[in-house]
A and B are shown apart, each in its own frame.
Chain A
Amino acid sequence: MATAMNDKSLYAPVIATIEEAKMLTTTEKYFKLKLNNGNELGHKPGQFVEVSVLGIGEAPISISSSPTQKGYFELVVRNAGNVTGALHKLEAGSTVGIRGPFGTNFPYEETKGRDILFVAGGLGLAPARSFINYVLDNRGDYKDVTILFGAKSPTERFFTDELKKISEMKDVNLLETVDNGDASWTGNTGVITTLFSKINPNPNTTSCVVVGPPIMYKFVIAEAKKKDITDDNIIVSLERNMKCGVGKCGHCQINNLYCCQDGPVFTLAEVGQIPEAF
């Protein structure tokens, strides 16, 4: 059950304070938040919260921090609409409303002892990070860890300090690409699927976590399948208009599934045959 909830109404948020806010790119802003009631958010990797700017509205935002980090949680918000635009105007000390955490989580328990292949495109790195950091904080529980991250251009990369740190880790294989490089970029150029030729995952022991823009899924899934990773080991997080977060308002439906409750994290075995999923 969600912890950040008003006991009188499913739709009334609790208040959280922004402890830190900073721009990560020209369109993405980072927020570190703390619930004013002192409670832990108590989320699992892959879940999301509904964030309110009272007077403007509410938007679903995936949680970017791992629950191994206590006392706060982190969000990365792209300036893409009314609510996210209003969020971008807020700085440390401001308050927002929070409801949640909602939805299904990445299988962080079930994948212990396995190899994890993360495939994150663009802003998909934000939700994937909740699981990546969980794995890094519990590194001994998992075997080989590979992270593929693709951005449109070098300036759209974010969490670059963390990416640098990860790139220096001996027990993590980080491969990056950008669709369009610039003078500063010396790495791989091309869409994220071009990185698949550089890896050799063991299909028997690998769980593949895919998060990115809607267009990315079918191409990445095809690559994962080419590597013989089975549908129940391909894990996706889907984006929809998760307006209420509690399975009532209908906006996030994917055929019979409510993305906010049945998802946003699904295995391909669950949604591969659902016509509206991809």
Chain B
Amino acid sequence: MTAKTLSKENFKKFAENLVKSERTIGVKAKETKYEFGNINNADEIVMDYDVTLRSPRTFFQPPKEKLFDFKLGANTEIKPNIEADPFVLLGIHSYDLKALNQMDIIWDENNADQHYKARRNAATVIALEPTQASEWSFWGSMDSSTVDKGYDLLLTDIGNKYYVEVGTEKGANLLSKYASAEDATNDDNTARDKVRSELPNLCKADRKVKCDTDGITASMKNSYNNAIWEKLAEKCYSCGSCNLVCPTCYCFDVKDTIELDLATGQRTRKWDGCLLEPFAKVAGDENFRENRADRFRHRILRKTVYVADKLNGELACVGCGRCSSTCLPDITDPVKILNELCS
């Protein structure tokens, strides 16, 4: 679609207008790190962050989500809870957008999940190409520096202004409603191409996956019985932190709660993690993935083989580096694992 530019000053006004009129979720400082959250004041917004603690999947698949209310009695009632409160998600980096695009496919395939879809449709996504990489980022190696779909607006910092690519009608309307944007010139296009071409280099030199992304799935399929899984998982706490921060982990558990009246209650779903010991357990105590190394391998193979198969071969690891940075025994870093197993 069309391309515009916003001076940094005009972007500030745009952000202020947004925050005033729309439920806006953006990136804020949290101690020395960054986190997505509700923005009440445009001054809170951080645009030059490296990575957020958790991925923005929180806003599409909340950590805890009510699926339906129920009322027991002669005529049992079940009332599905579909949340579709409109919001603007501002500043989601390319790699997280890539993950979001993947989740759109996953939640929609076969049985379309109405809860996810309603939230996704309620969102206006203003993506942002990164201006910084964390010390763990390796999205430069995972084809995740730039993404060409899934956004309503896509911002690229080209110095004194943002290049704004308009992806959808919804994005165009938001921009014309809250900002005075100018048409992008040829010079702007050139400046943006240059910034884009250099994006992968923002990731540190030692954060490179040495093999071609196209060959990773085949190499990982061949690594099933490699000794690396047992070796690394010896140190695994089965804490599930890697699951918690991953933008493409979407497994969940379902629980009922009942009120004190013993007549009304809710069914909720909560994030779950395949690294946690009881994940594959069934009633009667049979555990189909009892061995820690099997659980550890399962997650890595999901990202590189199993989920990738559902995504026409696109890897479900986008290189955000969150799992690497959060893993206490430092065993789950995909860069190290892929560099050891893929040639």
Contact = CB atoms under 8 A, between A and B. Distances in A.
Interface residues of B, number: 50
B254 A80 contact: no
Given A253-B306, A256-B305, A81 B272 contact: no
B252 A248 contact: yes
B282 A241 contact: yes
Interface in B225-253: 250-253
A112 interface: no
Contacts, number: 131
A255 interface: yes
A260 to B, nearest CB: 10
B269 A11 contact: yes
Interface in B82-127: 82, 106-107, 109-115
Interface in A121-141: none
Contacts of B115: 9, 11
Given A10-B111, A80-B283, A241-B280, A253 B68 contact: no
A255 B301 contact: yes
Interface residues of A, dominant DSSP: loop
Interface residues of A, number: 43
Interface in A29-61: 52, 54-59
Contacts of A12: 67-68, 78, 80, 267
Given A248-B250, A249-B269, A250-B274, 17 more contacts: A6-B78, A8-B82, A9-B80, A9-B81, A10-B111, A11-B80, A12-B67, A54-B76, A56-B256, A57-B256, A80-B283, A83-B283, A244-B254, A249-B254, A253-B306, A256-B305, A275-B224
22 contacts: A8-B80, A9-B80, A11-B269, A12-B78, A15-B78, A54-B72, A54-B78, A55-B70, A55-B256, A55-B262, A56-B256, A57-B256, A78-B284, A241-B288, A243-B253, A246-B113, A247-B110, A248-B113, A249-B253, A249-B272, A253-B306, A256-B306
The 4 closest A-B CB pairs, nearest first, are A81-B283, A250-B251, A9-B80, A55-B258
